[in-house]
Amino acid sequence: MSNRRKPPLVNMYRTEFLHSRTWFARRDRWFAEQVARGIPLACAGCGRAATKRQLELHHLDYTGVVLEQGRWRALEAHDDLVPMHPYCHELLHRLIDRDTVLARNRTRRAASDQALQRLRRKLQPVEGSPS
Ligand SMILES: [Zn+2]
Ligand SMILES: [Zn+2]
């Protein structure tokens, strides 16, 4: 598949899905699940603890986002979604969208994983380094 051709759903994903009740409900379920798993809420980029209101969810995979007969369905697996501050999330997208190496990755998950590692190195101070 050519990198130049964007999947047709990406634009509708941004303009419609992320504003849909389907997504807000999925988001609520994700946070409930995270709490149920006993995982403290924190930003995947900077690693700082954060509240649900402070966090956005980044999609590692869009395949769970389905438009079916005019209705959105949010079938993302729990692990398809990653909590991030809006600021850190924005940085992640800039890394993914503007980096030619990351753009050549086969999947969004692989590109996201690499970008997240870079972001963490940048945003999370190494233990023992002066603060
Ligand atoms: Zn953050
Ligand atoms: Zn994102």
Give the ligand with the smallest distance to the CA of 82: 2
Give the ligand with the smallest distance to the CA of 18: 2
Compute, in angstroms, the gap from residue 128 CA to the centroid of ligand 2.
31
Give per-residue pLDDT as tens, 37-84. Answer: 999 999 999 999 999 999 999 999 989 999 999 899 999 999 999 999
Compute, in angstroms, the gap from residue 7 CA to the centroid of ligand 2.
16
Give per-residue pLDDT as tens, 102-127. Answer: 888 778 899 999 999 999 999 997 76
Compute, in angstroms, the gap from residue 73 CA to the centroid of ligand 2.
18
Compute, in angstroms, the gap from residue 2 CA to the centroid of ligand 2.
21
Distance from C-alpha of 15 to C-alpha of 126, rounded to nearest angstrom: 38
Which phi and psi angles does 44 have, rounded to 5°? -70, -15
Q: Which two tokens stand for residue 125?
A: 């101070």
Those residues whose beta carbon sits under 5 angstroms from the ion ligand 1 are 43, 45-46, 85, 88
Give the ligand with the smallest distance to the CA of 115: 2
- Could you tell me the pTM of the whole model? 0.85
Contact 93, 119 (CB under 8 A): no
